[in-house]
Structure 1
Amino acid sequence: MECLGWIHTQPNEAPHMPPQDVTFHSKLLSENASWDGEKTITITCSFTPGSCSLTAYKLTPAGYEWGKTNKDTGPSPPGYLHSHFEKVQMLLSDRFLGYYMIPDEEVWNYNFMGVKHTASMKYDVKVGNPKEFYHEVHRKTHFFNFSAMDTVEEGEEESQRNLLA
Structure 2
Amino acid sequence: MVARDKSIDFYALNGTQISPKQISYYLGKSVIGMKLADLDNDGVTEYIFTDGQDLYIYHKTISVFKCIWSTHLSIESFEKYIYAADLNNDGVKEIYVFDSTGTTSKYVIGENGMYIKNDNIDYGQRYQIADFNSDGNLDCIVIGDEDSNTQELRIYG
- Whether TM-score is above 0.5 comes out as no
| Greater length-normalized contact order (CA 8 Å, ≥ 6 residues apart) | 1
TM-score, normalised to structure 2, is: 0.28
TM-score, structure 1 as length reference? 0.27
Instruction: Flag the structure with higher strand content.
Output: 2
Flag the structure with higher helix content: 1
Highest Rg: 1 or 2? 1
